[in-house]
A and B are shown apart, each in its own frame.
Chain A
Amino acid sequence: MFSIYITAFIVGGLICVIGQLMFDVAKLTPAHTLCILVVAGSVLDGFGLYEPLIDFAGTGATIPITSFGNALTHGALAEAEKHGLIGVLTGMFEVTSSGISAAILFGFIASFIFKPKGTV
């Protein structure tokens, strides 16, 4: 039960280290790095490997952006299983809707409240 806190910390941290290596060694911009990680999450789910990682590490696997690719693919595959090829199109946002809707909602609300500050 408590081991999930340790694995979450370690797996989440390690995925971030992969991102850091892409920043510093491959000299990629944050946008390029995040896109590659998202695609990686999606491909891992295609091989059925991402769900076991979530079972092992909990939020250590669901909080990094790789889980976004996984969730999109997972939604598409679940619908495809039920409805065939058309499900690939319709099922995509089934699982990820909360992240995107929360980001849009909170982003919009923040624009009423906050102003950017050029502090160090």
Chain B
Amino acid sequence: MVMKGLLTFPSTPSIVATGVTAGPLEKKSPFHAGFDKMYEDERCGKDTNEQGHSKMMEDACMIALSKVDKIPADADFLLTGDLVNQMTPSNFFATTVGIPYIGMFSACATSVSSLLLAALLTEAGMSKLAIAGASSQHNAIERQFRYPIEYGAQKGDTAQWTVTAAGAAAVTPFQAGVPSIERGTIGKAIDMGMTDPLHMGAAMAPAAADTLKRHLEGHGTSPSDYDLIMTGDLAKVGFSIFQELVKNQGISNMENFSDAGMEFYGNNPDFMSGASGAGCSAAVYFSEVYKKMMDKEYKKVLLIATGALLSPLSYQQGETIPCIAHAVELTMK
């Protein structure tokens, strides 16, 4: 049966290993204990932000492979992305690892869109080992989307802090004892007319609410079926709006709801509303959430990564901010 945008994976491809790397500032994250590697230097010892960005993604990928004693030559597909123009950090690291590669772009929802594509390739029997992942580097993203790093622009309470982090997941056909991918929902691009690039939570919340609704209705599940429903990077303000939208859908119990961006830096006011960036959801999903699933603390989770599909050009031309949210359902048997 074909259902619009809904995915089911009867063979339940497994995430056998993950790798998460992060920058020096991310030591302030309550999740930092779960990160595999943290750099002392924000450029990872490289000359430019973009080279450091690439290195960080490469290390995350290599860590994930090494955990299952594999080398890049064993992998069938590399599905990664980031937010820099034309995803050059991803492209450059793809040349060094030499795995057949598709660059993925769903802005900050890339963690889930790449995971879904890896699951589809595995389900189709065309991949024995695929690497999915996403990353972002604070300096590289801020200078492209906003201002030079050292420019003294005042950021309000709604602004978010782009994380320096990368997350990679190794996806294989079903294996017992690790989390597996059961279902997914491809989001629709939704534009509710928001224009403020320093308030992206408000732009993304409707996309997350829509994908949640379509996932629950399409797959016939209810929120109480999940131990955790975690959105990507709505952050504090965006998550409050999301909760209101979910309430309007008739869901009142949201105890198991959370947001990676809101939690990423704890309650530190230096980071305003919270974290954002493609690396935010990837780092949290592939460290904290993955580990809690391995420990069987979570049996079933729904991850809804959110992305704002804007460019510096589009908002300077006065366009609104279209957004996307992709959902993936992981189970631990």
Contact = CB atoms under 8 A, between A and B. Distances in A.
A119 B143 CA distance: 14
Interface in B130-159: 138-139, 142-143, 148-150, 153-154
Contacts of B23: 118
Contacts of B153: 30
Interface in A103-120: 114, 116-120
Nearest to B271: A120
Nearest to A114: B150
Contact of B154 (A23, A118, A119): A23
B69 interface: no
Interface size class of A (residues with CB under 8 A): under 10
Given A23-B154, A30-B153, A116 B139 contact: yes
A119 B139 CA distance: 9
B159 to A, nearest CB: 12
A116 B150 contact: yes
Interface size class of B (residues with CB under 8 A): 10 to 19
A91 B154 CA distance: 35
B142 A118 contact: yes
Interface string B249-290: 000000000000000000000110000000000000000000
Contacts of B139: 116, 118
B25 A118 contact: yes
Contacts of A114: 150
B125 to A, nearest CB: 43
A27 B196 CA distance: 10
Nearest to B265: A120
A30 B148 CA distance: 13
B154 A116 contact: no
Contacts, number: 25
B306 interface: no
A119 B27 CA distance: 12
A8 to B, nearest CB: 21
Contact of B42 (A23, A27, A30, A117): A117
Contacts of B150: 114, 116-117
B313 to A, nearest CB: 15
Nearest to A110: B150
A116 B141 CA distance: 13
A114 B148 CA distance: 13
B148 A118 contact: no
A16 to B, nearest CB: 12
A23 B154 CA distance: 9
A23 B149 CA distance: 20
A93 B75 CA distance: 63
A110 B148 CA distance: 14
A31 to B, nearest CB: 10
B146 to A, nearest CB: 10
A118 B271 contact: no
Interface in A77-120: 114, 116-120
A9 B42 CA distance: 39
22 contacts: A23-B154, A27-B196, A30-B153, A114-B150, A116-B139, A116-B143, A116-B148, A116-B149, A116-B150, A117-B42, A117-B150, A118-B23, A118-B42, A118-B139, A118-B142, A118-B149, A118-B164, A119-B25, A120-B25, A120-B161, A120-B270, A120-B271
Q: Which 9 A-B pairs have the closest CB atoms?
A: A116-B149, A120-B270, A118-B138, A118-B139, A116-B150, A118-B42, A30-B153, A118-B149, A116-B139
Interface of B: 23, 25, 42, 138-139, 142-143, 148-150, 153-154, 161, 164, 196, 270-271
